[in-house]
C-alpha cells in the first residue's frame, strides 16, 4: 500500500511540475488598438495602391501610343512610302480624326469614316486599288484595350512619316516637336501640378524621333526622363 501511495505521489508531483499556466486572451482595449492599427495600415496601403494603378494605366496608354507611332515610322522606312498614324474617335466606320482619343490607326490613307475597313492585303501591291482600296490599314488599336479613365491631349491628330523615317509636315507648315499628353484625372492630379499621378508625354520630333518623357521634369533639370 505504501509503495502504491509512493508511486501515485510521484505521478501527482510530476503532473504538477509539467502543468503549464493557462494562456491569457486579449483584453477589449488591446483588441481595439490592434484593429485601429490594421485599419490605418490598410488605409495607407490602399492609397498607395490606387496611385500605383493610376500610374500604370497612364504608362500603358503612353506605351501603346508610342508603339503605334514607332510602327508607322518603321513601316514608312520599310515600304519607302508615306505612312500615317492617326488618333481616331473610334475604330468603326463612324470614326473621325481626334486629338483626344486613345484609339489609333496606322494606314496609308486618311481612315476617317472608314476605320472599320479591310486591312491591307499584302498579297497585292499597295498601289493596287482594286485589291487594296483606301484607307489601306496596317494596324489599329481600340481604346477598349486600355483604360477608359485615360485622357489624351495631342498637338495634332495625324502624324505622317516618310521613307527616311522623318515626321513629314504639310507644305508651308514649319516642322516642330509635337506632343501627346496622357493623364488620368480620375486617379488624381499630375505630379507636374503637385499631385501624385505620374502623367506622361510622347514627343515626336521633325527628325522622327519618338520618345516618352515625364513633364514633371523641365529641360533645365537635365533629367533623362524629362521633356525637352
Q: Is the pLDDT of residue 177 over 90?
A: yes
pLDDT in tens, 22-61: 556 667 777 777 777 777 766 666 567 788 899 999 999 9
Q: Is the pLDDT of residue 120 over 70?
A: yes
Is residue 173 very low, low, confident or very high in pLDDT (cuts 50, 70, 90)? Answer: confident
Report d(CA 226, CA 5) in Å as an integer.
90
Which pLDDT does position 32 carry in this prediction?
Answer: 77
Report d(CA 59, CA 102) in Å as an integer.
13
Question: Which is it for strands 178-183 and 200-204: parallel, antiparallel or unpaired?
Answer: antiparallel
Which pLDDT does position 34 carry in this prediction?
Answer: 75
Q: Which residues contact 187 (CB under 8 A, 6 or more apart)?
A: 50, 51, 53, 54, 55, 57, 58, 149, 197
Is residue 2 very low, low, confident or very high in pLDDT (cuts 50, 70, 90)? Answer: low
CA distances from 82 to 52, 55, 68, 136 (A): 39, 34, 15, 12
Report d(CA 29, CA 207) in Å as an integer.
68
Which pLDDT does position 205 carry in this prediction?
Answer: 96
Is residue 171 very low, low, confident or very high in pLDDT (cuts 50, 70, 90)? Answer: confident
Q: Is the pLDDT of residue 115 over 90?
A: yes
Is residue 71 very low, low, confident or very high in pLDDT (cuts 50, 70, 90)? Answer: very high
C-alpha cell of residue 68: 503605334
Minimal CA–CA distance to 182: which of 150, 212, 219?
Answer: 150
Q: Assess contact for 82 and 161: CB atoms under 8 A.
A: yes
Give the best-scoring range by mean pLDDT among 39-43, 75-79, 186-190: 75-79
41-221 folds as: minor pseudopilin epsh fold (3.55.40)
Q: Where are the domains of the chain?
A: 41-221
> What is the b/e burial string over 82-101, where b = at least 16 CB atoms within 10 angstroms of the residue's CB?
ebbbbbbbbbeeebebbeeb
Q: Is the pLDDT of residue 185 over 90?
A: yes
Is residue 90 very low, low, confident or very high in pLDDT (cuts 50, 70, 90)? Answer: very high
Coil vs helix vs strand at 221: helix
Amino acid at each position: 500500500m505504501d509503495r502504491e501511495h509512493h508511486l501515485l505521489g510521484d505521478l501527482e508531483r510530476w503532473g504538477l511540475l509539467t502543468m503549464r499556466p493557462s494562456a491569457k486572451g486579449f483584453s477589449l482595449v488591446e483588441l481595439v488598438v490592434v484593429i485601429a492599427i490594421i485599419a490605418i495600415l490598410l488605409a495607407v496601403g490602399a492609397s498607395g495602391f490606387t496611385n500605383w494603378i493610376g500610374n500604370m494605366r497612364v504608362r500603358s496608354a503612353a506605351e501603346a501610343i508610342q508603339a503605334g507611332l514607332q510602327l508607322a515610322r518603321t513601316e514608312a522606312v520599310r515600304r519607302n512610302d508615306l505612312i500615317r498614324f492617326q488618333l481616331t474617335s473610334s475604330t468603326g466606320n463612324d470614326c473621325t480624326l481626334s486629338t483626344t482619343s486613345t484609339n489609333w490607326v496606322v494606314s496609308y490613307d486618311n481612315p476617317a469614316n472608314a476605320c472599320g475597313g479591310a486591312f491591307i492585303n499584302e498579297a497585292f501591291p499597295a498601289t493596287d486599288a482594286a485589291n487594296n482600296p483606301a484607307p489601306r490599314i496596317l494596324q489599329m488599336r481600340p481604346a477598349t484595350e486600355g483604360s477608359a479613365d485615360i485622357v489624351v491631349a495631342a498637338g495634332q491628330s495625324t502624324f505622317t512619316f516618310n521613307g527616311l523615317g522623318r515626321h513629314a509636315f504639310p507644305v508651308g507648315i514649319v516642322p516642330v516637336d509635337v506632343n501627346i499628353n496622357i493623364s488620368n484625372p480620375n486617379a488624381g492630379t499630375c505630379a507636374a501640378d503637385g499631385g501624385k499621378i505620374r502623367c506622361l508625354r510622347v514627343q515626336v520630333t521633325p527628325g522622327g524621333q519618338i520618345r516618352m518623357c515625364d513633364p514633371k521634369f523641365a529641360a533645365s533639370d537635365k533629367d533623362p526622363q524629362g521633356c525637352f
